């Protein structure tokens, strides 16, 4: 039961990682919370219990290295911010090398107990079938990829028919700095200058006939991931997996996403490529490029091996590998403001995977931010946004506006969920990377490691400063 508080409660819909974290952050600030969770009244096809923050897939929170891994950095930032999810994960840790893995049952039980025991949190077991009513003046929807159909329909009605995705066709994303530009070149097909374009908006990777045939053979033989029973098989011609296209005929790909027409190899203009893989800039920073038309169900290991067969991508590093799966999420860059509030409805925020992030900690971190923002609004305080240089701020920026929207493929959603990765962080200041004394050759992997260490160090320092409330929403506008 709630203790006496001078504030009206904030409602949180969804008791997964994001909703539990949001509720905890709100209550920790002295504001009461009503947490609505439908499990216990109505189950889902994937969950097995009615415990809060149940992990339905892996039990791993991935790397815990905060010195040179973006996931480890966001772990550290969340711990600094008093995260319930990270505290429970740390208490329920099981051996996993450099990763943070948990006893999934113990983890859920720890989160459930902490939430139920908090004097300012009331858990209500009920299904919220529509958007929060008007008398819930401040609310957070954190219902995740398995949002109930009635609520999903209400969200779709509020935001527009094209603003809610139910299946996610993901193409791999490559770090720009890992692409070999001695082989690849910049050019738009037929040098077309689209909206905001220059005629050199794509990175092109050429293949000769032998390379193309070897690539098609590898795709067809590649090990794929099956759909879960509750996902179905959402293949449609607009997002066929690359390996399914390859199976439809040896020439299918070079008449589809790998067609060479309208392109001239800047390094060898007199030789026409047999096929071309195109990569398109994926974020405003220009640090990430997505492989156009390369959504896939290949297993991750197979993807990395096969896609590194592409000339120019032999040493590619992937910020995200491809996939195709059930994942309900909104078109956040157009719908949400920088504090995760729905632009069409003040007071209503979204959090977790429904905003377009991937992963347990990413989902929880967006819940953490939404909870802090909502609590500040309830208390009449300035909303403090995490700096863009932090892991939290980088992920928030991607969700609410750092993603590039393309007009070249009408009707195609360009915004897709993303894990935290160093490609979302702003670049370091020029001159930040200095060759260590006594080292003759300093490039490639060694230089990349130093760069990531410097970005991580900057992120943690700036996060510590942010938690002192040094950067406000008004200042960032």
* Residues 360 and 375: beta-carbon distance below 8 Å: no
For tokens 């990765």, name the residue.
421
Give the residue from 96, 88, 11 showing the smallest Cα distance to 55: 88
Taking only Cα atoms into account, the Rg of the chain, rounded to an integer number of angstroms, comes to 23
Residue ranges for the binding site for FAD? Answer: 14-19
At 291, which helix (H) or strand (E)? strand 288-291
Residue ranges for the binding site? Answer: 14-19
* Residues 114 and 52: beta-carbon distance below 8 Å: no
**At 177, is the secondary structure helix, strand, or coil?**
helix
Residue 226: which residues within 8 A CB-CB, separation 6 or more? Answer: 297
- Report the distance separating Cα 205 and Cα 312, nearest Å: 6
- What would the two tokens of residue 34 be? 């009503």
- Report the distance separating Cα 189 and Cα 268, nearest Å: 17
DSSP-derived secondary structure letter, 274: S
Instruction: Let me know if 17 is exposed, middle or buried by CB neighbors in 10 A (0-12, 13-18, 19+).
Output: buried
- Report the distance separating Cα 474 and Cα 477, nearest Å: 5
**At 41, is the secondary structure helix, strand, or coil?**
coil
- Report the distance separating Cα 65 and Cα 21, nearest Å: 22
CA distances 458 to 70, 77, 131, 455, Å, are: 12, 12, 39, 5
* Residues 433 and 446: beta-carbon distance below 8 Å: no
């Amino acid at each position: 039961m709630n203790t006496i508080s001078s504030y009206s409660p904030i409602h949180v819909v969804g008791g997964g990682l994001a909703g539990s974290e949001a509720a905890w952050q709100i209550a920790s600030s002295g504001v009461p919370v009503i947490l609505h969770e439908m499990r216990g009244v109505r189950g889902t096809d994937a969950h097995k219990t009615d415990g809060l923050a149940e992990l339905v897939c892996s039990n791993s929170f991935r790397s815990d290295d905060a010195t040179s891994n973006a996931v480890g950095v966001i772990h550290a930032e969340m711990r600094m911010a008093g995260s319930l999810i990270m505290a429970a994960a740390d208490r329920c840790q099981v051996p996993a090398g450099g990763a943070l893995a948990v006893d999934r049952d113990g983890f859920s039980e720890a989160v459930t107990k902490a939430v139920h025991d908090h004097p300012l949190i009331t858990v209500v077991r009920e299904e919220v079938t529509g958007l929060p009513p008007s008398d819930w003046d401040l609310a957070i929807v954190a219902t995740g990829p398995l949002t109930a159909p009635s609520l999903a329909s209400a969200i779709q009605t509020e935001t527009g028919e094209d603003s809610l995705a139910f299946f996610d066709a993901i193409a791999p994303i490559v770090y720009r700095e890992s692409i070999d530009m001695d082989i690849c070149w910049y050019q738009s097909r037929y040098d077309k200058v689209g909206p905001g374009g220059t005629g050199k908006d794509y990175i092109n990777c050429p293949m000769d006939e032998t390379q193309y045939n070897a690539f098609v053979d590898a795709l067809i033989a590649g090990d794929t991931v099956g759909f879960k029973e509750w996902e179905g098989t959402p293949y449609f011609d607009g997002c066929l997996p690359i390996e399914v296209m390859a199976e439809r005929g040896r020439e299918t790909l070079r008449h589809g996403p790998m067609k060479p027409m309208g392109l001239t190899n800047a390094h060898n203009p007199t030789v026409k490529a047999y096929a071309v893989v195109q990569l398109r800039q994926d974020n405003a920073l220009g640090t990430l490029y997505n492989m156009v038309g390369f959504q896939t169900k290949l297993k991750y290991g197979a993807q990395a091996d096969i896609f590194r067969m592409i000339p120019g991508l032999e040493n590619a590093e992937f910020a995200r590998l491809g996939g195709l799966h059930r994942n309900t999420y909104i078109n956040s860059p157009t719908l949400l403001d920088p504090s995760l509030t729905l632009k069409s409805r003040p007071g209503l925020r979204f959090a977790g995977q429904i905003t377009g992030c991937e992963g347990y900690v990413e989902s929880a971190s967006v819940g953490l931010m939404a909870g802090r923002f909502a609590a500040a609004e309830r208390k009449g305080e300035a909303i403090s946004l995490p700096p863009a240089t932090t892991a939290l701020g980088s992920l928030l920026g991607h969700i609410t506006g750092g993603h590039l929207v393309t007009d070249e493929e009408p009707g195609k959603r360009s915004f897709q969920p993303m894990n935290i990765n160093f490609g979302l962080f702003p670049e370091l200041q020029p001159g930040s990377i200095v060759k260590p004394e006594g080292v003759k050759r300093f490039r490639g992997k060694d230089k990349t490691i130093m760069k990531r260490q410097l970005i991580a160090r900057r992120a943690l320092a700036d996060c510590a400063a942010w938690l002192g409330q040094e950067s406000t929403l008004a200042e960032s506008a």
